[in-house]
Structure 1
Amino acid sequence: MLGRLAVDQQARGHGVDRMLLVNATQRTLTVSDEIAIYAMAVDALDEQAQSVHEQFGFSLLGSGSRRLFLPLISV
């Protein structure tokens, strides 16, 4: 489960959110060589955050929530 990936309002619009997500994904893939990890999961704070995660291949885990997941095999 990813913690919060927050971007300061002054830094928004510069792709920082995407850089953080790419970095988190790369780190997760690195440690997945040592420990069993099936997928990454995140609770999107709002529709904008949900959209960013969906652009990276995350899918909604169920209806009625903003929990998304990304199977590492798809990365």
Structure 2
Amino acid sequence: MALWRVTVKKCGNANGLKLETGMSVEVSVKTSSDPLKFGDGMDAISDAFSSKYGFDSRKFRSISMQYYLESKKI
């Protein structure tokens, strides 16, 4: 398991969702590679953003965003 912090790097609108620079979530996923591109990471990230910011997780799963990705030690 790996703990990741995903932070939005550039604000904008995507699928009707307003992303602001600095929005971030922390998720724990099974992959040690970029969780947005591999495994079940995108589902975990979309659920975390949906829970924290009230986004529709189905819309969030299909967006492409600029982001900072930081691996955290657990």
Q: Could you tell me the TM-score, scaled by structure 2's length?
A: 0.29
Higher RCO, 1 vs 2 (CA within 8 Å, ≥6 residues apart): 2
Structure number with higher helix proportion: 1
The higher radius of gyration belongs to: 1
TM-score by length of 1: 0.29
Structure 1 or 2: larger strand share? 2
